Amino acid sequence: MDWLSDKPIPRAERLIFALDVPTPEAARALAEQLGDSVQFYKLGLEIFMAGGYWELVDWLAARGKKIFVDLKFFDVPATVAGAVRRLNGRGVELCTVHGNDSMLRAACEARQDVKVLAVTVLTSLDRGDLDDLGFQCDAKTLVLSRARRALEMGCDGIVSSGLEAPEIRRELGPKLLAVTPGIRPVENRPADDQKRTVDVEQAFRGGADYIVVGRPIRNAADPRAAAEGIQATLAELFPQG
């Protein structure tokens, strides 16, 4: 079944670029190079640890870019709530929480103008990794369980591999936003730490509302051309914009 998203999301914003670079200076230079080929940026742990994170958030917001704070908050509920509360009014569109029901609930209660995404299972994990972590189930079962809890706790969406997104749509419907990382072009699936990957069209036809792309753009000979190529695929999938 085709689960192509019909949520009112501007087409160009369905591509989220993972700005995983060593310094804020490198981040700004890459954002300048990408120009209008990317409208939405994910800022994760690497750039957070480099310093100048919030200055970069403000710099991107001042240029009209959407921002996804991907710090995967995981702590006692009061601390998670405090972290989410700090995002309100900062021009941040999305943030991630990686925890149990009480953490998810606390995050949702603290949000105002930021949407809370629950992390299900990292796309770098496969069944062997889950066995190592003590989970007695496969990735699909665990993802669906966590997605169901996220919906019950009031989360706006989930982060999920494109391999599991169709099952989430089938079981839980369209309400949750589905953000899908681990996107790899069909013709170039590199040997890296991403194990549960799909291509752009697979992700969206499987139910993704957004895709997160990092290395296929960042490591391309021409990052802007790589981003424009993905935007061209989006134009075919979502001709109405």
- Residues with a catalytic annotation lie at 72
Q: Token digits for 217?
A: 């753009």
Looking at the DSSP bridge assignments, the partners of residue 20 are none
Residue 39 CB: number of other CB atoms within 10 A?
20
Long-range CB contacts (within 8 A, 24+) of 134-138: none
**Contacting residues for 239 by C-beta, under 8 A, at least 6 apart:** none
Residue 108 has which token pair? 């949702």
User: How far apart are the C-alpha atoms of 48 and 35, rounded to whole Å?
Assistant: 22
For 81, 95, 107, 149, the CA distances from 84, given in Å and listed in that order, are 5, 8, 6, 19
Q: Quick one: tokens of 15?
A: 């591509």
Ordered alpha helix ranges (H), the chain: 24-34, 45-49, 53-62, 77-87, 101-110, 127-132, 139-153, 165-172, 200-205, 215-218, 223-237
